[in-house]
Every structure is written in structure tokens, then in C-alpha cells.
Structure 1
Amino acid sequence: MKQKKPIRVLHVVGAMNRGGTETLLMNIYRRLNHQQIQFDFISYSSEEADYDQEIRSLGGSVITLTKTNSIREIYHAIKHYGPYAAIHAHTLFHCGVAMTAGYLAGVKRRVSHAHTTKDEGNSIIRKSYKPTMRLLIQLFSTHLLACSNHAGHYLFGRRGLSKQTYAYFPNAIEYTHFLYKDHKQVEQFKREEGLSNQRIIGHIGRFIAAKNHQFLLEILKACRQKDPTVMLILVGEGKLQKELQETAKQEKLDQNIRFLGLRTDIPTILHTMDVFLFPSIYEGLGLVLLEAQASGLPCIVSEAIQPEADLKLGLISRISLQEGPQYWADKIMNMVYKREKNTMKVKAAFEKNGYSVSLAIAKLMDIYISDSGGVYEEKNIYRLL
């Protein structure tokens, strides 16, 4: 008997590097039964991305396109690699291009997904591009998803949020990976990085303007006045990293900073920190904030962080960037001993707020393949896991 081919879903991304959206997708993709359902990814990067090899090993395709605003390219990709049960775009206003191509190619389920609350482009062309793309998104999407209502409002507009096709979609993480502290690994990490017996503040994120790394240096300076041994650890890569490293050197802060690059041992690193800092200028949700809370780590965040990121564990403190680095430093010193150690309480918060991968898969399967229009039956979900 001939084996039935898996259902295929096409995700449209910029590149599958270790960002919040991409990590969310991989958390979901890894858990699927790949003989039953497969993900393919359209990428606009000519370079090999962090997750590309793993995607291929799981049976998915990474489809590299070159013209970002070409409906034709996506259309031909769908026809060549499909058929697809759904197309799911994560590329802000570019979702309008993907949704139009999906409609023309006959894909029945077309999902636009909002992940951020701001677009850096501000040219005259960009200003006309946004309303055009928003119109295409509303015309050709069958479903609208957002990691926060603020992100949804930014991409879809007020009219989009009022549609029956709109839904809040909590970002999912494998939170159990972060719950428990491996004392040996944490101590080994501290020894390797010269962090033993020191107060450690940290941040995880790409070195881009939105993450506000320069403000982190100002905070470090203020903290060092209170405790000269305080250390700042920064995880990530990006175009502004070299500039920040040079500034740290000029300000004589380099002895108090560790630039760790991209890492796979994030649970260990989070358990090393005393306070997590997230002073973003704008943010969709901040997946790493969920990971930090799963680790029981106190977090100090800017007013740009969406309220949906707070699991109500008493770990999140929101402070305006206008308060300045000295105020942030004072708050840090007050929070260094406020880690949440009750793992059952943390687990309950994740399940209550819908941030588990199993719940995320259930919602997506309902969109991609369910004909019921309601919640996808649990027995069918586990067939796909």
C-alpha cells in the first residue's frame, strides 16, 4: 500500500536564524510527526541560516528567493514545491505579498502573523507601501494572528482586530527546558567565563537598534558605581556588535562585559544571571522573556514590552526608559534576590496563559487542516506529534 504523503505548510520568513519568531517555529516544528505534516520555509537570505540544516534533516525544504516583493516568485515556489494546505507569513507588511501569491496559487488557508509593533522604514515609498500591504493582508488572509494585541493592531489595523478571523496567538516555548537548574553546568560556565562569586546581569538579543544595547552600557556604568564587580553578559550577534564592543572599550567597561555570541546553552546562562534586562525601544512580545521567567529570573523591562509577556509571577518590573540608567541600576540592586524557585507555580502560569508548545500546535492544526471550524480534536493533535 502506497504511503500517504505528509500535509505540507509553507512558512514565509526572512531567514531561519535564532530570533524569537524563528525559535517559536522550530519549537513547534520539532514536535510534529513529520510523516503526517511537514513545514517548508521561504527565506530571503543568500546565506545559510542557523536552523536551515536542522530543517532539512527533519524533511523540510528551505526555499531561497531573491526578490522580496515579487508575488510571482512566491507563486512559482508554491506551484513547484506544493501543494500546500496552508501558507503562513511572518514578514510584517510583506505578508500582503505572500497572501496575494497564496490566493492566486489556490492555497486555501492563508495566515498573516504579526510579531512586532514597529517598522523602521520611514521613507515616502514605505509610507505608501504599508497601507497597500495592509489592504492586501485583509483581502487575502483567511486568518490573522498576533503575538500581542498591540502587534496585531500595528499590522492589521483596528478593522483587522475586529474581524472574526483575528486571534491572539501566545508565543510558545519548551518551558520545561528552563525550569530546573543544573548546578554543575552553571558553575562550570561561571568558571569558564570568569564569573564566579560575582553579581551578574544579562541580556539576550540581536545587536540591532531596537534592542537598545547602548542603554545597557549606561546601566552597567551606573551599577558599577554601586558594585565594581558587577558583570554584564550579552548573548547574540548582529550588525551593531562591533560598534558596541568599541564603545565599551572606550568607556573602560570591557572588563565588566562578556560578549558570548550565539549560544545553545541558554537555560544554563539564564540560571547564571541574577537579573535579566530588556530595555527594548519596541518589541512584539519578547520570547526570551518567557524563557527568563521559566527560569524564575527577575526581569526589568522597558515600557515597550507588551503586557502579554508578563506571566504574573512577580518577576517582571516595567520601567520607562525616560527614568534613566541610575533608576534602572537602583531597581536591579533591589531585585537580585527575587528569583522564583517554585517550579510548580511557574508551570501552572505557562499552562494558564497558553504558552505551551502543545497548545500552540493545537491552535495551528485547527487553522491548517481542521474542517470543523472549532478546536482541533485532541486525539488528532497527538497523531501529528
Structure 2
Amino acid sequence: MKRVLIVGFTENLGGVERLIYSYYKKIDRSKLQFDFLINVEKVPFRSEIEKLGGRFFVIPRKTKDYIGYKNGLKSFFDNHAKDYIAFWFNSNSLANLDYLAYAYRYGIKRRIVHSHNTMETRGTVYKVFHQLNKGKARRMATDYWACSIDAGRFFFDEDVVKSDKFRVINNAIDLCEFSFDKEKRVEWRKKIGIADNVTLYGNVGRLSYQKNHEFLLRAFKGLVSKHKNVHLILIGTGELEENIKRQIEDLKLEKNVSLMGRQFDIPGILQAVDVFVMPSHYEGLPIAAIEAQAAGLPCIISDTITKEVKFLHSCEYEDIASEDKWILAMEKAAKMSRSNDCTAIKKAGFDIEEETAKLEEYLLS
């Protein structure tokens, strides 16, 4: 049995964490096991993964204890580098390449850099380091992965994206989990407190600048002024949670918007929703939008998001420069019927069953 070292799991229940766990549940663990190098004790799915044989190793966070972080990295690689056939670095940015540098220095044979986003927004310093580190990442990595072509171009030069060392690893999901279930719909609408005659809009994503909740709330205020029986749920946590709470109060939307925090049963919650909305400033290839379409939901997503994520005719792109356009789009989507056909999603390569077999082959080859 071979082991792969994974970096990129955080305390947040985000797309990276959900994606890797989805693949991990399906791999043949008699042939392949995942271990995780993390900076906090509590990360999503840790107990589930440990029960299945995965291991977690914790070192201090770089920004909180630099000396402890560097000592922890050295100690870990001194003791465990020989255990791994591959190192899999998952990130939204190349600003910090310490983990890749250690994997390179300690001779882990396969060194995979996997891009999960299309933009660095944490400030000028991070943007500068991201650009400076592109060349280093190219030299130290052996394999170049991304969730989409655009995400690949954010991390790698065009000649790398066109090379045989580059792969798009699809943000695949378990399609069966998301198929429409009337009982779950009734159960979740009861939990949330949504009456049958209310149109429920939903957004899944970290409460951060990237997801553009400020715009969504302003547009939803306009919708509420025209339609009383509408409600919006925001699923996720993040650094802007307090700002979003204040905005909800300022717009007097307390009765029409619910912050639901971290939720693990996304398939169940999506049964309760009628329309999925995602006005993100940018995305790599958002798992949440794939899941929403797998649940058959009409979707309105930002026109800044890759066209690779559209599978259903009821998924529409809209301009995030116009709240009025979003109000009209939300009204239109509410009149659409739910779809029960996942054929296009499966054909595009987003069925976890089929994609896991490919991932195993990549990692074991």
C-alpha cells in the first residue's frame, strides 16, 4: 500500500476539503492512503479519515510561530519523507512554497502542485510572491494540476498548461447523493422554517470577499421589495461574517436572510432550495455550482466564473455590475422547473466514481 502526503487542508469546510474527502472515500485504500500535514488540530473530516487509515500531522502555523513552523517542517520531513510516493500540494496561491521546497529537498519522487483558484486577492505582497514563485514552482514540481484551464493559467505558464505534465482534475462529486429527494426537502425546509409557498434562494461559500455576499444582499433587498415570499440562506463561515450580519441588519433583511454557518449535509440542504445563486468575483471551478446543478436547481452565477461549470440550460451567467439584472434573473429562475437529469454532468467528467479511478491511476503510475 502506497501513501500520498497532502498539504492544503484547513480548518474551513471549503471546496478543497470537500473535494479531497470525496476522492478519499472512493479510492482503493488497500492500494493507496492519504496523509495530511496541517497547521491546526481541528479540520473537517479528520475523524472520518482517521477511521479509514489516513493520518494527520500537525505543525505550528507560520504566521503565529515561525520558529516552531520551520522546526516542525524539518522534523516531519526528516522522519516521514521516505514514506511517500507523492506529495500533493493544494492551494489557491503560490505565495508560500515552503512545503513544496521540502518535498523537493527530501526527494519525494512525485511533487504535484494543484491550483484551485484564478486570482490572488490578499494584497500586493501576496501577489508579488505569487508571481515570483511561479518559476520556482515549475522547477520543483513534477506534475501540474488545476481544477480548470483558467486556474491552471493562474499558476503556470502557457507552455506548462499545454504540456503533458498538466492535468485538469475535475471537482467531481457523488451524483447519487444530490439526486432529488422529496422527504429530505420537506425535512430541511422544516428545519430552516420555510413554508411551502416561499421561494428559497441558496448560496454555499466562504464568507469572504471572493464570494461577493455584499452584492448578493443588495440585489436580494431589491427582490424582497417586489416579492414578500422569498428567503435567502447563506451556508458557510468566514472572516466577513460580522460585516455580513451588520449589512443584513442595515438592509432590514433579518426576516428574509438566514446565516446557517458550517453545514455538512449540503446534499440535503440543496433539496430545500429552489434557486442557487453565486455572484463570486472569481472562482477556480466551484464545486458548489456543480452540486447545485446535480440537485437539479436553476442557477444564477457570476459571468466571471469559468464557462466549464455550466451543464444545465437552467444555469445562467449574469453580470455582477448590475443588481437590477440579478433581480430579474432571480425572478426568472424562480419560475423554472427543477431538473432530474445528471447526464451532462457525468459526461463532462464530474462523476466521482469514474474520476476516482483516473486519480488512482495518476498517483500510482
Pair 1:42-2:37 in alignment: yes
Residue 326 of structure 1 corresponds to 324
Between the aligned partners of 1:222 and 1:50, the Cα distance in structure 2 is 36
| Cα offset, 1:67, TM superposition | 5.2
**1: CA distance, partners of 2:220 / 2:180:** 28
- Does residue 22 of structure 2 align to residue 30 of structure 1? no
Q: What is the rounded CA distance, in whole Å, between the counterparts of 1:329 and 1:114 in structure 2?
A: 33
Query: Within 5 Å, which residues of 2 pair with 1:334-373?
Result: 334-343=332-341, 346=342, 348-370=343-365
- 1:71 and 1:366, CA in 2 relative to 1: closer, same or farther beyond 3 A? farther
Residue in structure 2 matched with residue 161 of structure 1 by the alignment:
161
Partner of 2:6: 11
Report 1:225-304 matches (<5 A): 225-304=225-304
- The change in CA–CA distance for 1:321 and 1:143 in structure 2 (over 3 A counts) is same
How many residue pairs are counted as aligned between the two chains?
A: 357
Secondary structure of residue in 2 paired with 1:90: strand
DSSP 3-state at the match of 2:156? helix
Residue equivalent to 2:52: 58
2-structure distance, mates of 1:29, 1:185 = 26
In structure 2, the residue matched to 1:378 is: none
Output the CA distance in 2 between the equivalents of 1:30 and 1:260: 26
**Structure 2 equivalent of residue 110 of structure 1:** 111
Runs of 4+ that moved beyond 6 A = 69-72
Question: Contact 1:71–1:100 (CA<8 Å) still a contact in 2?
Answer: no
Whole-angstrom CA distance in 1 between matches of 2:304 and 2:59: 33
TM-aligned CA distance change 1:134 to 1:30, over 3 Å: same
Q: Which residue in the other structure is 1:379 paired with?
A: none
Match of 1:188 in 2: 187
Are 1:16 and 1:52, in contact at CA under 8 Å, matched by a contact in 2?
Answer: no
Could you say which residue in structure 2 is the equivalent of 1:89? 89
Distance (Å, rounded) in 1 between the aligned partners of 2:231 and 2:94: 39
Q: Residues 303-338 of structure 1, C-alpha deviation per residue, up to 9 Å, x if partnerless?
A: 221111112x2021111111x222111111111132
Instruction: Describe how 1:70-219 pairs up with structure 2 within 5 A.
Output: 73-74=72-73, 76-82=75-81, 83-91=83-91, 92-94=93-95, 96-123=97-124, 125-181=125-181, 183-196=182-195, 197-219=197-219
Deviations 1:9-53 (A, max 9, x none): 001115153211110100011112333321011112x34122222
RMSD, matched Cα: 2.0
TM-score by length of 1: 0.87
Maintained 8 Å contact 1:279/1:301: yes
Q: Distance in 2 between matches of 1:53 and 1:240?
A: 28
The letter of the residue matching 1:64 is V
- Structure 1 pair 141/341, CA: closer, same or farther in 2 (3 Å)? same
Determine if contact 1:16/1:43 at 8 Å carries over to the other structure: no
Which residue is equivalent to 1:377? Answer: none
Q: Which moved more, 1:268-277 or 1:76-85?
A: 76-85
User: How much has 1:80 moved relative to structure 2?
Assistant: 1.9
CA distance in 1, matches of 2:267, 2:301: 19
In 2 relative to 1, CA 151–242 (structure 1 residues): closer, same or farther, beyond 3 Å? same
Q: After TM superposition, give the deviation of residue 156 of structure 1 in Å.
A: 1.0
CA distance in 2, matches of 1:164, 1:104: 24
Aligned counterparts of 2:161 and 2:199: Cα–Cα separation in 1: 44
Check the 8 A contact 1:97/1:133 in 2, yes or no: no
1:71/1:101 contact within 8 Å kept: no
Tell me if 1:317 matches 2:316: yes
Distance 1:356 1:274 in 2: 23
Gaps spanning 5+ residues in structure 1: where? 1-5, 371-385
SS in 2 for 1:321: coil
Q: Is the deviation greater in 330-339 or in 285-294?
A: 330-339
For normalisation by structure 2, the TM-score amounts to 0.92
CA distance in 1, matches of 2:112, 2:166: 10
Provide the rounded CA distance (Å) in 1 between the counterparts of 2:73 and 2:121: 24
Q: Which runs of 5+ in 2 are unaligned?
A: none
Distance between the aligned counterparts of 1:127 and 1:245, measured in 2?
29
**Alpha-carbon separation, structure 1, partners of 2:337 and 2:108:** 47
Alpha-carbon shift at residue 195 of structure 1 (Å): 0.8
The CA distance in 2 between the partners of 1:194 and 1:88, in whole Å, is: 42
How far the C-alpha of 1:365 sits from its partner, in A, is 2.1
Residue 72 of structure 1: how far off its partner (Å)? 7.1
Amino acid of the residue matched to residue 327 of structure 1? Answer: K
1:113/1:146 contact within 8 Å kept: yes
Give the % identical residues.
Answer: 29
